[in-house]
Structure 1
Amino acid sequence: MDTPIDRNSELSMKKVVYNQFGERDVLEVASSDIPSPQEGEVLIRVHGAGLNPIDWKTRNGFGFVAQQIENALPWTPGYDVAGEVVAIGDGVTTLVPGDRVMGLVGFPLNGGGYAEYALTAADELAVVPEELDLVTAGALPLAALTAWQALFEVAELEAGQKILVHAGAGGVGHLAVQFALARGAHVIATASAGNRDFLAELGVHEVIDYNTTDFAEECFGLDVVLDLVGGDTGKRSLRTLGDSGMLVTIPTVTADEVVSAAETQGLRAHGMTVRPDVFHLEEIAELIEDGDVKVHIEKAFTLDQVAQAHELLEGGHVRGKLVLDCS
């Protein structure tokens, strides 16, 4: 039996949709019925919905997701949500209305995060620590899980190892450096000069200004490189690895060429694709509770400002994360 929704008798909700691929002007805010949770599902009143590079790339018709959904438009983007549980479906025993939750939802083909309400499987949700407001929490799941899985599943980063994180001040990067520091690694990051102090405050040991310094001349014998840039940067990073070091490259469009370059040099490199994992999210939440990790929000936008949010997102060079405030 569904738990009844009592949100001032709301009958409809706002959500972002696009009916065709294209530039930012294809993004629309539409009204639709509030969905009801089915068995094993939870309905969330969304407070924060994170923005990620995959959102604008898919909107433009690029990549795997776009190929899969092109005959299923209109589509609502967004995979990161945080908010309050307002209704539960049959069989849900772990959550109750009023719980503060976050998750990587609808990934990769359903989306649905850019909305006032979102449906998701109950087992994809983690409880949001009291130390984190729900709008900020909405920016966390995809970037945090990407960083976590790259560092600890693929690269198997350990205490005492040396790691280089490219684009260390970005969405994935600023979380990755904090996770690596919490694990006891020696952390080097590339960033622009304007982000040096930001990264130093997070505890990064060495910051390399990529505009003035060649990281490949500065770094050698590294255990891990987390490549969040791809392409030539990823390939040049191979020179910095120690004999048993590993490079993990995230941008999928250049992953094959980076991995191939590593193979020809007898070095180890891997691409990766993030996946939902509530246990990893819970571990990340513990680090936030303990004060070891902070989520930096550069700017929050309303649903009606989604085109402006995508403009900033597409420009790159965002410090930390962008988020839609749907509360």
Structure 2
Amino acid sequence: MKEAIVFSGPKVTIHDVEFPTLPSPNHLIIKVIVSGSNPKDWAIAERVPGLNQGDDIAGIVHSVGEDVTDFRPGDRVASFHEMLSPHGSFGEYAVGRADTTFHIPQNVSFEEAATIPLAAMTAALGLYQRLGLPPPWLATDQRLPLVIYGASSAVGAFAVKLATLSNIHPLICVAGGGKSFVETLIDRSKGDTIVDYRIGHEEVVTGLQNALGGNEKLKYAFDAVSDKGSFENIMQVMDHLQGKITLVLARKKYEGIPDTVDKTFTQVGRVHSSNYPGIKGEKPSVGPLGDQEFGALMYKFFERGLVKGWFRGHPFEVIPGGLQGIEGALTNLKAGKASAVKYVFRIEATEERRENHL
């Protein structure tokens, strides 16, 4: 079967590899119809090159382990592949774990489903396991200002969608070129607003202050950017004694965030394990469940939302060429060219004539 391997650059080569085997009785093998992509696909390859970095699987179940009870061959599924493990979604077949896999209802395309596994779970972990905000099934009836920095990114947009399901308002969304998309997600009647980061750092801080109103200090922030002045701007309006911020990049020092601020990292790989390479130690989750149990619960929640129609994927762009399109897409992700869109790949579009064989 064909598989794409990502190197620093990013550079991508396509190889013939052995068909995967089930790593455990709790895994399943999935024929990949569509693979999603994420900025971490090029970023991790800078320091861990030579892997199939794809982690967003959407396809059809080929076979299941003996302990898998919720899925069977032929099912339409999406799955969050275990990061840095073999047989990711940049291949004709991939391996997923049953507890981070969910059914795709017939009204949802493989393309849409491929936008969900990694990004939506990152948003859920950040909101509920790191910031300790009320989940949708315990929606709040109190005013609860929340800044979501990078709201047009996939992670940020899913954070907006989930926060809305939790009745968290006002949502103060920081976005740029994708702000027209973010506008479709918020509710102005509940005080939600958008601050355009392109106006400059001082103006962003002023916009955040105006959105809070008066002398109110911010207590909750989800920083889906964690770079380019994002957390520094947030600190200008945050309560330094009671504030909480969660960040998506764990390999930074974050100078400028006082020790009195509750700072956590949202590392989505924790729904699989707290021991895989690259996980940074941090405080235990504030929720009643561990991250692995929470992850299994939330994928069931996403599935039900897709069936009922109150949860949807992210806007997507199908990149031509299947696996051959990955290098160009990752290059664009590295350059920051993707706004309010996820790049996805239809694996069957891969052309045989451009293979690089082992």
Task: Give the TM-score, by structure 2 length.
Answer: 0.76
- Runs of 5+ unmatched residues, structure 1: 1-12
Relative to its length, the structure with more strand (as a share) is 1
Q: What CA distance in whole angstroms lies between the structure 1 residues aligned with 2:120 and 2:93?
A: 22
One-letter amino acid of the structure 2 residue matched with residue 32 of structure 1: V
1:15 aligned residue = 3
Contact 1:166 1:229 in 2 (8 A): yes
Stretches of 4+ moved more than 6 A in 1?
none
1:323 aligned residue = 344
Contact 2:29 2:94 in 1 (8 A): yes
Note the C-alpha offset of 1:246. Answer: 1.2
Change in 2 beyond 3 A, CA 1:111/1:166: farther
Q: What CA distance in whole angstroms lies between the structure 2 residues aligned with 1:35 and 1:43?
A: 7
Note the C-alpha offset of 1:59. Answer: 2.1
In the alignment, is residue 30 of structure 1 matched against residue 27 of structure 2? Answer: no
**Equivalent position SS for 1:103:** strand
Q: What CA distance in whole angstroms lies between the structure 2 residues aligned with 1:123 and 1:176?
A: 21
Change in 2 beyond 3 A, CA 1:280/1:130: same
Contact 1:299 1:323 in 2 (8 A): yes
Contact 2:115 2:314 in 1 (8 A): no
**Which range moved further: 35-44 or 160-169?**
35-44
1:4 aligned residue = none
Contact 1:163 1:224 in 2 (8 A): yes
Contact 1:15 1:31 in 2 (8 A): yes
2:329 aligned residue = 309
One-letter amino acid of the structure 2 residue matched with residue 322 of structure 1: Y
**Equivalent position SS for 2:82:** coil
Identity, % of aligned pairs?
23
- Runs of 5+ unmatched residues, structure 2: 135-139, 272-294, 349-358
Note the C-alpha offset of 1:111. Answer: 5.6
**Equivalent position SS for 1:153:** helix
**Equivalent position SS for 2:198:** coil
Q: What CA distance in whole angstroms lies between the structure 2 residues aligned with 1:267 and 1:168?
A: 22
**Which range moved further: 309-318 or 105-114?**
105-114
1:234 aligned residue = 231
Q: What CA distance in whole angstroms lies between the structure 1 residues aligned with 2:226 and 2:83?
A: 23
1:8 aligned residue = none
Q: What CA distance in whole angstroms lies between the structure 2 residues aligned with 1:296 and 1:261?
A: 31
Q: What CA distance in whole angstroms lies between the structure 1 residues aligned with 2:19 and 2:162?
A: 37
One-letter amino acid of the structure 1 residue matched with residue 22 of structure 2: P
Q: What CA distance in whole angstroms lies between the structure 1 residues aligned with 2:303 and 2:81?
A: 17
Pick the aligned partner of 1:208 from 192, 195, 198. 195
Give the superposed CA RMSD. Answer: 2.2
1:129 aligned residue = 105
Contact 2:317 2:341 in 1 (8 A): no
In the alignment, is residue 286 of structure 1 matched against residue 275 of structure 2? Answer: no
Task: Give the TM-score, by structure 1 length.
Answer: 0.83
- For residues 183-262 of structure 1, the aligned pairs below 5 Å read 183-186=166-169, 187-192=171-176, 194-204=177-187, 205-212=192-199, 214-219=203-208, 220=212, 221-231=217-227, 232-242=229-239, 244-254=242-252, 256-258=253-255, 261-262=257-258
Note the C-alpha offset of 1:38. Answer: 5.4
One-letter amino acid of the structure 1 residue matched with residue 2 of structure 2: K
